[in-house]
Amino acid sequence: MTSLHGLFVPLITPFTADGTLAPGALERHAHAVLDAGATGLVALGTTAEPSALTTAERARVLDICAGVCADRRAPLIACAGGNATAESVRAVTELAHPVAAVLAVVPYYVRPSEEGVIAHFTQLAALSPAPLLVYDVPYRTGRPLSGSTLIRLANTPNIAGFKHAVGGIDAASVELMAARTSATVLSGDDRFASALLGLGAHGAILAAANIAPREYADLIAAWRDGDIIRARAIGNSLDAVGATLFAEPNPTVIKAVLAERGQIPSSAVRLPMLPASSAATTAAAEACAAAATITRV
Task: Please indicate whether residue 163 is annotated as part of the active site.
Answer: yes
Measure CA of the first residue to CA of the last residue in the chain; give whole Å.
Answer: 36
Catalytic residue among 108, 109, 139, 163: 163
Is 135 a known active-site residue?
A: yes
Which of 108, 109, 135, 139 is labelled catalytic? Answer: 135
Q: Which amino acid is at 207?
A: A
SS3 call for 41? strand
Return all residues near 167 (Cβ < 8 A) that are at least 6 apart: 138, 139, 189, 192
Cα atoms found within 13 Å of the Cα of residue 226, Cβ hemisphere only: 0
CA-closest candidate to residue 135, choices 91, 114, 105, 156: 105
CB count, 10 Å around CB of 272?
8
| 59, containing H or E segment | helix 55-72
Distance, CA of 102 to CA of 126 (rounded, Å)? 13
Beta-carbon contacts of 7 under 8 Å, excluding residues fewer than 6 positions away, are: 37, 38, 39, 203, 204, 206, 209, 213, 216, 217, 220
Q: Which residues are marked as active site?
A: 135, 163
